Structure 1
Amino acid sequence: MRPATAKQAAAHLDREPGTIRQWAFRYSARVLGRAGREVVYDFADLATIEGCIWRGDPVPPTAEDRDELRNQLARAA
């Protein structure tokens, strides 16, 4: 798990931090803790959500389902 705040994830995914926070709320993204006042998310989970949205695929409902999707995609590659 790679930790990232909404600002860090937004910079890597070329999105706005507010968009990242909205996805985290909407899709129950995996939270790793806090860094001061900022929430720290699992970047891989956020990147999977972004990938599903970008491809037009449904976003798996849980972080565990998204983990499995990442594993399936890695095996297929």
Structure 2
Amino acid sequence: MHPATARQAATRLDREAVTIRQWARRYSARVLGRAGREVVYDFDDLATIEGCIWRGDDVPLTPAARDELRAQLGRAA
């Protein structure tokens, strides 16, 4: 797990922070805690959501299902 706030993830994924927060809410992204007033997410989970959206695939509904998708993609590579 790689922690990232919405702003940090937005920079790394070339998206807006508001988009990251919307994805996190819509897809129940894994939350790791808080850094001050900001929520800290699992960047790997957010990146998987972004990848599914970019490819036009359905986004798995749970963080565990996205973990499994990442594992499958890693084995295929």
TM-score (norm 1): 1.00
Aligned to 1:49: 49
Distance in 1 between the 2:34 and 2:12 partners? 19
Task: Report the Cα offset of residue 36 of structure 1.
Answer: 0.1
**How many corresponding residue pairs?**
77
> In the TM superposition, what are the counterparts of 1:1-77 in structure 2 within 5 Å?
1-77=1-77
Distance in 2 between the 1:59 and 1:72 partners? 14
Distance in 1 between the 2:4 and 2:12 partners? 10
Task: Report the Cα offset of residue 76 of structure 1.
Answer: 0.2
TM-score (norm 2): 1.00
Task: Report the Cα offset of residue 4 of structure 1.
Answer: 0.0
State the SS of the aligned residue for 2:60. coil
Distance in 2 between the 1:52 and 1:2 partners? 19
State the SS of the aligned residue for 1:60. coil
After superposition, give the CA deviation of every residue in 1:11-39 in whole Å (9 maximum; x if it has no partner): 00000000000000000000000000000
Runs of 5+ consecutive residues of structure 2 not aligned to the other structure? none
Moved over 4 A (4+): none
Runs of 5+ consecutive residues of structure 1 not aligned to the other structure? none
